[in-house]
Amino acid sequence: MGKKKRILYIVAGETGFINTDEKIIRSFADVRTTIIATIWDCFKLDLLKNFWFADSILIWFASMHTIPAVLLNYIFNKPLCIIAGGWDVANVPEIKYGGMQGGSRTVIGRWLLSRASKVIAVSKSNRQEIINNGKVHHSKVKLIYNAVSVTNQGGIIERKDQVLTVGEINEDTFLRKGLDSFIKVAHKLPKAPFIHIGKWTDKNGKPCTNMINYVKKISPPNIRYIGYVNRKVLEQYYKESKVYLQLSRHEAFGISVVEALKGGCCPIVSNCYALPEIIGDSGYVVKEHVVDEAVEIIKTVLRSDYTKFKPVAHLGFSIEERKKSFMKIL
């Protein structure tokens, strides 16, 4: 067996998809992970040591935490890949979201992407954002869909007539994830149970009290806010719910939507960025924020004897597929 490739994995913090990718690359490479969460982390000696150690560098997002690695690479000149899968290449002016809205952040973001050997996109929609907003030549952008693992897939069970959505609630996500539309739909279907699962925390992990009070004030009584649950409980909600509703205004991929699909939910999503691509012909796509259209589709699905919707095997989204693609690029 040949020598394992040595990879430096740089992130700004820990999330589910970032941790999943770390596990994937550890399965075929010797990996050192560096978290750059603050300006002071840029000056840690570990970063320089890990750079010296690595054959190649993989970074999640082209943002401020990416700058030290790009600067160091002027000296080391090692293969450097950036996964630009979200805010970093987005420009959604109607909700003032994205790193490509102009100004210094756009200049820095484009410079970081220009210094990458490869830029990895997590969907076809995201790939176009990288090319159009990030000004990256198409030949340098490689599509590798996110990996989504669900252990409790489908099964013929008695599903409940309930509508589910999953995601954090804070000032950043309220409009972007379409939670305002979720609430409007619930108002129009007062007899149907609506369930939201996710933390109520800001980007610093602190409770967002003002948002909590506002959301609860405008929500009808048929919405239950469950809060954070562990993976096993979340998968049970996917398995027992008939409908998964996500009327986002921006999605580079849509991990929760895929989890819901793999759990057997019927997805109803907005015609927004990656969402139509991700569900394919396995769900319903409504015009962006057209609440009445979503309401009518939900009525149809809830009246049906629906047990399990079409699976998403046609798109993959498996850990093995992402691993194979990483092994070719890194």
Number of independent structural domains in the chain: 2
Q: Are residues 62 and 187 in the same domain?
A: no
What does pLDDT average to over the chain? 91
Q: Are residues 117 and 169 in the same domain?
A: no
Cβ–Cβ < 8 Å for 303, 266: no
Cβ–Cβ < 8 Å for 307, 157: yes
pLDDT of residue 290: 79
Residue 309 inside a domain? The answer is no
Dig out the tokens for 270 from the structure: 């907005």
Per-residue b or e along 292-304, where b marks 16 or more CB atoms closer than 10 Å to that residue's CB: ebbbebbeebbee
| Measured distance CA(187)–CA(204) in Å, rounded | 31
The helix, strand and coil proportions of the chain, stated in percent and rounded to the nearest 5, come to 40, 20, 40
pLDDT of residue 294: 96
pLDDT of residue 153: 52
Instruction: Return averaged pLDDT per consecutive 10 residues of the chain, 330 residues in all.
Output: 88 92 97 91 86 96 95 95 96 96 96 98 98 98 91 64 95 93 97 96 81 93 95 91 95 94 90 93 84 95 69 68 94
Q: Are residues 114 and 219 in the same domain?
A: no
pLDDT of residue 154: 46
Can you give the CATH number for the domain in which 185 is found? 3.40.50.2000
Q: Are residues 41 and 164 in the same domain?
A: no
DSSP 61: S
CA 11 to the chain's CA centroid:
15
CA distances for 264 relative to 77, 94, 238, 318, angstroms: 46, 33, 7, 16
Q: Are residues 139 and 210 in the same domain?
A: no
pLDDT of residue 273: 96
CA 159 to the chain's CA centroid:
26
DSSP 2: P
Nearest one of 174, 23, 18, 36 to 86, comparing CA atoms: 18
DSSP 310: P
pLDDT of residue 310: 47
pLDDT of residue 157: 66
Residue 24 inside a domain? The answer is yes
Residue 224 inside a domain? The answer is yes
Nearest one of 310, 322, 324 to 85, comparing CA atoms: 322
Q: Are residues 164 and 296 in the same domain?
A: yes
Contact residues for 159 (Cβ-Cβ < 8 A; gap 6+): 240, 241, 242, 264, 306, 307
Amino acid identity, position 151: T
| Measured distance CA(200)–CA(209) in Å, rounded | 8
Nearest one of 224, 221, 248, 247 to 237, comparing CA atoms: 224
What is the DSSP pairing of strand 118-121 with strand 194-197? unpaired
- Residues 198-212 have pLDDT tens digits of 999 877 778 888 898
